[in-house]
Chain A
Amino acid sequence: QKEVEQDPGPLSVPEGAIVSLNCTYSNSAFQYFMWYRQYSRKGPELLMYTYSSGNKEDGRFTAQVDKSSKYISLFIRDSQPSDSATYLCAMSYPGNTGKLIFGQGTTLQVKP
């Protein structure tokens, strides 16, 4: 079993839709949770960073962490064609020597 599971999709939605992206994890030691966006043939770009359960909002993006269920989500409101990319969840824990554990990534396409 992988430490972090993420549905690879692809996920296709119309412009303006609310998008929900999810990851589950097995290691209860994870305390830091990140969402990255990666455009084709580019490096991942940090979108959201959280270190506790609950919600964090930044513009059209909301990150949600439920440590009791070992489940994290990223919501995108009013999705735009420019949001079309691969979204990667990543996790780490204190003293983890800088190692991020990534999900496989979910490919999102927002159609005009």
Chain B
Amino acid sequence: DAGVTQSPTHLIKTRGQQVTLRCSPISGHKSVSWYQQVLGQGPQFIFQYYEKEERGRGNFPDRFSARQFPNYSSELNVNALLLGDSALYLCASSNRDGTYGYTFGSGTRLTVV
């Protein structure tokens, strides 16, 4: 079985640009969450989507947005990139309430220059 897949694996963008990150959950998982992990810190929650609806939002500015598609894959969009947005962006999938934990992908490493 394929795990959580994320693309691209690495990305370099310039300040002010926009970026779209993609995630495919484990088959059968309908919930996708996004996290930002800055070097040396634990992941910080950005969004959770379940059945194409936003179910939770972390303390991130409106420049961050996401959506979930009918096949449960998801995209995270970040507009007007700042140097501080440089981080590892992680996607996690789970059953509805994470009863059996959350499975993470390998992440997309975003560098803003």
Contacts and interface: CB of A to CB of B under 8 A. Distances in A.
A98 B55 contact: yes
A105 B84 CA distance: 20
Contact of B104 (A8, A41, A43, A99): A43
Interface stretch (A14-22, A54-62, A73-81, A88-96): A88-96
Contact of B43 (A32, A45, A100): A100
Interface residues of A, number: 27
Contacts of B98: 32, 92, 98, 100
A98 B100 CA distance: 12
Given A43-B105, A97-B55, A98-B94, A104 B43 contact: no
Interface of A: 4, 6, 8, 32, 34, 36, 41-46, 49, 88, 90, 92, 94, 96-105
Interface of B: 4, 6, 31, 33, 35, 40-45, 48, 50, 55-56, 58, 88, 90, 92, 94, 97-98, 100-107, 109
18 contacts: A41-B109, A42-B107, A45-B104, A46-B101, A46-B104, A49-B101, A88-B43, A92-B98, A94-B97, A97-B56, A98-B31, A98-B45, A98-B50, A98-B102, A99-B45, A99-B58, A100-B102, A105-B41
